[in-house]
Structure 1
Amino acid sequence: MSTGRPAGLRDFYENPAVPVASGDARSSRQARLLAAALRGTTGALVLDVGCGDGTAAATAAPHLAGHRLVGVDWSQDALRRARTRVDHVVRGEFEQGGLPLADGCADAVLFSEVIEHLVDPDGALDELRRVLRPGGHLMLSTPNLAAWYNRGLLLAGVQPVFSEVSLRGIHGRPGSEVVGHLRLCTARALRSLLTASGFTDVRISGAPFHGVPRGLRLLDRAACAVPSAASILLAHARRR
């Protein structure tokens, strides 16, 4: 994951201890949505931008049989691990022209649990739009600031899940891992951001969060029926 990061962030994401994979439930849902969108076509070029260690791409691959899946990431450590799971990987930055790919070359982009890590999400979306063909599909996922439990936590004066105030430790919120989240969206904000960035036909659905305590997982899955309250936001949009 990348976007011309300051040195401190670069060091953070090259640390092998920093998580670079997300839950299989979200990856499977996203891949099924993309497979449905590509139905009737073969040989599509699908970019997994911010592929991390390749876990999500490996989960998606069976759903995308007949298409070419390429992993893209900034982190050399993540790419080293991704090569064991993805047939094709390339290193790329997110600033303008930073992806080593031609304009309009891709039929679809998977952008999973990346935008919340970025200093410049606008520049990243501009770059994704550049490499997508007109009408190409963007499948984006990101944690939901307004997840059902975060609404209660905020009312109680507790720092919301997914949000962070430090790269060195957890302060004031549930959880134990620092994962480098810089920005969080609600469903409404995400829809507005994608529309302003040149995407259309924005549809948002929900996915569960693998870190929800076991006793609350049924409730978390049920919340997916109301995307604005789900743990994870899944956005499907098309390039204008």
Structure 2
Amino acid sequence: MTRTTTGTDTGTGTGTGPDAGTGRRPAQLRDLYEDPATPVASGPDRSRRQAAILARALGTEPQTVLDVGCGDGSAAATAAETLSRHRMVGVDWSQDALRRASSHLTAVRGELTDPGLPFASGVADAVLFSEVIEHLVDPDAALDELRRVLRPGGHLLLSTPNLAAWYNRGLILAGVQPVFSEVSLRGIHGRPGSQVVGHLRLYTARALRSLLPASGFEVVRITGAPYHDVPRPLRPLDRLACHAPSLASILLVHARRR
């Protein structure tokens, strides 16, 4: 899973979490995202998939792409192979992530809540938003901010784990906590897996088809991507599920700003 650390990504941004208005951040959540041991990348395959979708949407004229929640910049570096015609700028909240990302691309600190991203309205032609939304306390405010920095007709490439992934449907029927969901920041309880990554919300394709239009975006297409941590014997099934995005492990959403 991608660990992203942009401002609001996990309620650690000002104005969104339980400490909003007090000037305090939830220390445990902040420390989770500043910990170099917390995973920050989902592997090159998914980055290439997203970059290919975006490259087709942007065409050949140079465009400005913001990678919001860039993490350590490795995903942006992979995407840049396909998006070489375009200018990519990374944004993250975590100082540790920014330090590592700076070796791959221009990276700046920014938050999705007050005071917002450090860009003028309408400056971006596209936004990459890779596995950030599941970390947000206030996804509505975050989507509002992404819409602000995008030009009219600008592209949003969003990816997020799928609550309704094919194996999660079976796990829930069996009374098992679904993969990707977390009930604690201190350990794994009731679900497969071994790493805490700070997911606060999970989405289905159906939910995103409703949420994004409500936030001023038109959904162009939803496709699926496999999950790198699926046990090896089950990976052929996971790849097959990508043909039915509502069953896929990861949802890749291409939307446009209205």
TM-score, with length taken from structure 1? 0.97
Q: CA deviation at 1:29?
A: 0.6
Deviation at 1:96, TM superposition (A): 4.5
Counterpart selection for 1:127 from 125, 145, 153? 145
1:15 aligns with 2:62: no
| 1:70 and 2:89 aligned | yes
How far apart are 1:7 and its partner, in Å? 2.3
Q: Counterpart of 1:27?
A: 47
| Alpha-carbon distance between aligned partners in 2 of 1:101 and 1:26, rounded to the nearest angstrom | 27
Paired residues in the alignment total 238
Cα distance between partner residues in 2 of 1:205 and 1:71: 24
Q: How does 1:1-240 map to 2 (within 5 A)?
A: 1=5, 2-3=7-8, 4=13, 6-8=25-27, 9-40=29-60, 42-86=61-105, 88-240=106-258
Runs (5+) with no aligned partner, structure 2? 18-24
- Runs of 4+, deviation exceeding 2 Å: 5-8
Alpha-carbon offset, residue 97 of structure 1: 4.4
Query: Using the alignment, how far apart are the partners of 2:52 and 2:195 within structure 1?
Result: 29
Q: TM-score, normalised by structure 2?
A: 0.90
| C-alpha RMSD of the superposition | 1.0
- Alignment-mate amino acid for residue 238 of structure 1: R
Find the aligned partners of 1:123 and 1:164 in 2 and give their Cα distance: 22
Equivalent pair of 1:96/1:123 in contact (CA under 8 Å): no
List runs of 5+ in structure 1 lacking aligned partners. Answer: none
More deviation, 110-119/90-99 = 90-99
Aligned-partner Cα distance in 1 for 2:113–2:53: 28
Question: What percent of counterpart residues are identical?
Answer: 76
User: Which range is displaced more, 27-36 or 200-209?
Assistant: 200-209
